[in-house]
Amino acid sequence: MKRGGPADLEARVLSADLCTGCGACLGHCPYLKTLGERVAFVHPCSLTEGRCFAVCPRTSLDPDELDRRVLGTPRLDVFLGSYRRLLWSRSLDADIHGRAQYGGTTTALTAFALESGTVSAAVLTGGGPTSFPQPVVARDRDAVLAAAGTKYSACPTLVPVAGLLRESDEAFAVVGRPCQVAALRNVQANPKNAHRFAAVIGVFCFWALAPSFYRFVAAHGVLTRATKIDIPKEGGVVFSNGRTTTVPLDEIRPHIRPACQTCLDPTAEWADVSVGSTEHDSAWNTLVVRTARGQALVDAAVAAGALETRPYPPDRIPILRAAVAGKKRRVMAAVDEGDPATRYLSVSDDTRAAIMAGGRDVQ
């Protein structure tokens, strides 16, 4: 595990405004608290090494090391990471379709994992789309359905994880953003935690919004009534509640968290499965199956009639890769410019060259 202490975390991440708001450090230390989505120390801590530093995804991140440790293979696709299958997927449950975003794959897999006994709890992000979301520990289908739908801010979803690890030996699922998946894999580096994460479901995330977004929403009263937010490929940010209101994306961009600008992983490359939109058909999701555990979960959900899958359309794969390529190249350009916010990254010369050369696969 990474070695450093609270002072290192404060200097390298919190004071530098590079915290992703993942919530992994919270619960490990009584001196770390969150207000809204801002993490801070409320009392000095003299430890020279601490779990708060070890689990943080922004103290250091080595993609090649995570590939080997989590996926057991060198990177197969420089942009999408390693994966076993690339699919379109959707829930076959009408209740889920009525609540979830796009095809409802994340909600369907989480509900199935609970109902099948694969996990006994699931750590999720609850709440509505226009107010501060909250971490939720769901133990039944109703709680999963209540948490359905995308929240575009950086909820510290992982706050309950430390307590779950301390208080029982149960296996649980976690649904999180890419930075949260990386943090979970840091937690899992401790051997005693290796078996606890029975399903890690990552959601695509190119950026998350800061708390100032909610002040923006409150200042535009009609937006507070939205029951769903969507950010299609073109056309701005859509707030829906029977009727739709579209806000130009340029009005939302100032609320993007600074830490998101230097994130190298928009598709949750170290999850068991990763889920996103198709940017083509809103009735389906993109589903990236990455691990044997993820494959087993998807296969079981399909066999039980909880999920439907189809092969990813070949003509859409270059579009997906191009979207991720743009993000990764911007971050690599920031590395080349010496941006201090990129110092947490340890990217091999081969991977960096492949990203900048146009995406030839790294073998």
What confidence score (pLDDT) does residue 129 get? Answer: 85
Report whether 246 contacts 238 (CB < 8 A): yes
Residue 260 included in any domain: yes
Residue 362 included in any domain: no
Residues 188 and 198: their CA atoms lie apart, in Å, by: 11
Query: How many Cβ atoms from other residues are within 10 Å of residue 287's Cβ?
Result: 27
Residue 30 included in any domain: no
Mean pLDDT of 319-343: 95
Mean pLDDT, all residues of the chain: 92
Structural domains in the chain (count): 1
Q: Which DSSP state fits 12?
A: I
Residue 55 included in any domain: no
Q: Which of 67, 51, 144 is closest to 100 using CA atoms?
A: 144
What confidence score (pLDDT) does residue 1 get? Answer: 60
For tokens 């829930």, name the residue: 91
3-state secondary structure of 116: coil
**Residue 113: pLDDT band with limits 50, 70, 90:** very high
Residue 313 included in any domain: yes
Report the percent of the chain where pLDDT is more than 90. 71
Q: Is the pLDDT of residue 360 over 70?
A: no
- Tally of residues, the chain: 363
- Full residue range of the structural domain in which residue 161 is found: 64-210+256-325
Question: Which tokens belong to 300?
Answer: 């079981």
Mean pLDDT of 20-42: 85
Q: Is the pLDDT of residue 361 over 70?
A: no
From 88-102, 290-304, 308-322, the region with the lowest mean pLDDT: 88-102
Residue 68 included in any domain: yes
**How far is CA 154 from each of CA 63, 74, 134, 176, 260, rounded to the nearest angstrom?**
22, 30, 10, 10, 10
From 130-134, 137-141, 330-334, the region with the lowest mean pLDDT: 130-134
Query: What residue type is assigned to position 245 of the chain?
Result: T
Q: Identify the bridge partners of residue 201 per DSSP, sorted by sequence position.
A: 175, 273
What confidence score (pLDDT) does residue 36 get? Answer: 67
Q: What is the pLDDT of residues 209-233, one digit of tens each?
A: 988 998 999 998 889 988 889 888 7
From 85-94, 110-119, 205-214, the region with the lowest mean pLDDT: 205-214
Residue 75 included in any domain: yes
- Crossing angle for the helix pair 317-336 and 349-357, to the nearest 10 degrees: 120
Write the CATH number for 190: 3.40.640
Residue 54 included in any domain: no
